[in-house]
Amino acid sequence: MAEVIRMPRLSDTMEEGNIVSWLKSVGDKVEPGDILAEVETDKATMELESFNDGVLLHIGVPEGPVAVEGVIAIIGDEGEDISGVLKEIENESSNGVAKSEEAKEEPAQESSPAPTPQPAAPKTTTPASATPSPSIPADGRIKASPLARKMAEESGIDISRIQGTGENGRIVKRDIDNAIEHGVPSAASSAPMQMQIGIDESQYGDRP
């Protein structure tokens, strides 16, 4: 019965072996202990020994790299038909390649999930006015720091017309500085205009 010779793992770190040369040829008789070929590993060059008795019927790889457990030779009886064995080896090799390709494709598919459509962001309309209107609390009390109040008073600025940028809309020093720099109606100009109507009493005489 034909025996398939595979590349042995000759060291713990060995993944493949490189066949340097064959010391036996197809048709040569082989006995246990005979050296079949020289194999180079990641550690050293070693001799591949036969453990079978028979005839070398097939050499899988004349020279070059062979993965661990890869088929390198077949030993059997002289004249034995090994076509069935070769067919099995071919199928085994094809299945191994297919599995290897699947293993490479699966991580790629997992790492590239289909993109999830995102809802369109709602359009927002920005007011045309660049200067925000000051917000006055419901109680009518304007929140401002003592320093801001003093600066507004000294500069004649109507503090009620300033938009605070501090915590909770509190008016702070930088708000007064901005008002002084960019201009904000003063307290005098913001006061309601009182209309005085003069009456010329000379036009009217004393009525009986």
Tokens at 191, concatenated: 């006061």
Q: What share of the chain is helix, strand, coil (3-state, %, to 5)?
A: 30, 20, 50
Bridge-partner residues for 76, per DSSP? 55
Q: What is the pLDDT of residue 158?
A: 86
| Predicted structure pTM score | 0.44
How far is the C-alpha of 41 from the C-alpha of 44, rounded, in Å?
5
Fold exhibited by the domain 3-100: OB fold (Dihydrolipoamide Acetyltransferase, E2P) (2.40.50)
pLDDT per residue rounded down to tens, the chain (208 residues): 788 999 888 778 888 989 999 999 999 999 999 999 999 887 788 888 888 899 999 999 999 999 999 999 999 999 899 888 889 888 887 765 545 555 555 555 555 555 566 666 555 544 433 444 454 555 567 888 888 889 888 888 888 888 888 877 889 888 888 888 887 655 544 444 444 434 444 444 445 4
Superfamily of domain 146-190: E3-binding domain (4.10.320.10)
- The confidence score (pLDDT) of residue 170 equals 86
Domain boundaries defined on the chain: 3-100, 146-190
pLDDT of residue 131: 43
At residue 105, the pLDDT reads 59
